[in-house]
Amino acid sequence: MSSTTQHDIQSQHILIIDFGSQYTQLIARRIRGLGVYCEIWPYDHCEQALARKPQGIILSGGPETVTATAAPRAPDTVFALGIPILGICYGMQTLAAQLGGQVIAASKHEYGHAQVQTTRPSALLTPTGEDLKLNVWMSHGDRVEQLPAGFQAIARSDNAPIAAIADEQRQWYGIQFHPEVTQTDQGEQLLARFAHQICGCEPLWTPGNIVQNTITRLQTQIGSQGRVVLGLSGGVDSSVVAFLLHRAIGDRLICIFVDNGLLRLHEGDEVMATFAQQQGIRVIRVNAAERFYAALTGIADPEQKRKIIGNLFIEIFAEQAQQLNNITWLAQGTIYPDVIESAGAASGKAHVIKSHHNVGGLPEQMPLALVEPLRDLFKDEVRRIGTELGLPDAMIWRHPFPGPGLGVRILGEVTAEFADLLRQADAIFIAELRQANLYHEVSQAFAVFLPVQSVGVVGDARCYDYVIALRAVKTIDFMTAESAQLPYPFLERVSRRIMNEVSDISRVVYDVSSKPPATIEWE
């Protein structure tokens, strides 16, 4: 598909209208996984997206009840376009209510597992006409009581005689259950039938096409003379941006990698090796540890530390960029969830629990245009195109590492000595996790330096040294997390190694707190 343009692979698309469900992004990731481009827009902020002529519309679930007078509604345009519609959960209820059906508060709610039985053939559930019994995931208190004109019930469950509806002529469908979650049988097939057969979208949204078209788009955007500067952290997003830009414009891309003295053991050297040696990407390494330690002297407050680290990064980055000639563009690793969040914030509908600003914000005083090659991509897509571009697996599947680095893992004041001790302890923990094949079993793992002293014995002598806490969590979205139940013998081995091999550590503890109420990082 070498002649396909970026415009082409995005022009056949599905619009997902968001009513605030926790699963909306999951619906989008599933549709993208089927090779079909889709966008999410809030229900009260989607007129422009509707004007771009999607092939089909999905109405998401949501926390509200349609029976309330001020309940969110889909814009009338949705029903005037003459294109396929799939309402999921709240989306089905508002579809039914807006088209003249009746939705009532059900006497029995359905949360979690339920069984759905088809009651007549439909292009969505049973294109070949067979009877089907499906285990599905439900989460609703209301139910459709009376069908709107033109619709028929196509499935029922124990508590909802109308669990799925269809108007085959207009290709409008509603399902009370969630096809996007893995607990629903055949959820993926259902979404595939909707996207491919019913909406007629071809599977053009593939890693190979995305890479090729992003490169073409970058070449057009930047032109034949433009020069781009990128703050490289070694994390997956900025690394994929670097690989894409390198493929698009070669050595007109210059990366700046700031070693702030708060990186993990050998991290700076590894990043330089991957980029400079293996790929021939131009990377300027700035060794700025001393400047960071000096700026952090005497500062114990976590938010203040974050600010100092972030601002100093921008200062150093700007200094370096200004020394380069004819730079016209600044590249950033903004990804699609950031874009959705800003759209939500713009419409006042954001549900932001905690937002983090990556080190590497736009230096405001620099008159550079912004290039954001990952703006349309979810994290899993960034990883997939990273693989397509040949990034090493170790880089693609690394645990996340916060922008302020070890700065928020050394509690209180940061010193070079504490950073050194923490780096060694952390490297032991991570090496042991890899050795025991546990690294990819957890979502994030690290050591934390506690500047409290605790008594121990070494030989016959009493010592009074620092404490290391180990943290390993399992999470899907990093908004909530549980402590990983690592085997005791494993934890004992790590603890023994840290106390034997790292000087000045007399005790190792394991953090069993979940988030909430604890956060993943200790600061």
Residues that bind ligand XMP (CB under 6 A): 306, 354, 356, 358, 400, 402-404, 444, 478, 515, 519-521
Closest distance between ligand XMP and the C-beta of residue 425, in Å?
Answer: 17
In the bound state with ligand XMP, the residue whose beta carbon lies nearer, of 136 and 419, is 419
Q: Using the CB atoms, write b or e for 236-262: b if 16+ within 10 Å.
A: bbbbbbbbbbbbbbeebbbbbbbbbbb
Q: Least distance (Å) from ligand XMP to the CB of residue 520?
A: 3
* Least separation in angstroms between CB 409 and ligand XMP: 9
The active-site residue, picked from 178, 201, 255, 523, is: 178
**Minimal distance in Å, beta carbon 315 to ligand XMP?**
17
Phi-psi region of 12 (alpha: psi -120 to 50; beta: other; left: phi over 0): beta
CA distance 452 to 505: 10
Active-site residue identified among 13, 38, 46, 89: 89
Edge-to-edge strand list for the sheet holding 56-59: 37-42, 13-18, 56-59, 85-88, 172-175, 164-167, 152-157, 102-118, 133-146
266 is catalytic: no
Which helix (H) or strand (E) is 344 found in, with range? helix 336-346
Q: Is 357 a catalytic residue?
A: no
Which lies closer to ligand XMP via its Cβ, residue 266 or residue 356?
356
Between 179 and 403, CB nearer to ligand XMP = 403
Closest CB to ligand XMP among 106 and 518? 518
Output the smallest distance, CB 139 to ligand XMP, in A. 25
Q: Which tokens hold the place of 409?
A: 């893992």
Kindly provide the residue ranges of all beta strands, DSSP E only, lying in 126-185, ordered along the sequence: 133-146, 152-157, 164-167, 172-175
Give the Cα separation of 134 and 124 in Å (integer).
Answer: 13
How far does Cα 347 stand from its chain's mean position?
A: 21
Sequence letter at residue 274: T
Q: Long-range contact list for 162-165, CB < 8 A, 24+ apart?
A: 163/116, 164/92, 164/116, 164/118, 164/122, 164/124, 164/125, 165/92, 165/96
Compare residues 45 and 379 and give the one whose CB is closer to ligand XMP.
379
DSSP-derived pairing of the beta strands 164-167 and 133-146: unpaired
In angstroms, what is the minimal distance from the CB of 393 to ligand XMP?
20
Q: Which residue is catalytic, options 13, 38, 110, 180?
A: 180
178 is catalytic: yes
CB closer to ligand XMP, 73 vs 515: 515
Q: What is the DSSP letter of 77?
A: G
Residue placing its CB nearer to ligand XMP in the complex, 203 or 400: 400
- Cβ(180)–Cβ(169) below 8 Å: no
Measuring CA to CA, how many Å separate 514 from each of 222, 409, 468, 522? 45, 17, 18, 12
DSSP state of 481: B
What is the nearest approach in angstroms of ligand XMP to the Cβ of residue 523?
A: 8
Active-site positions read 89, 178, 180
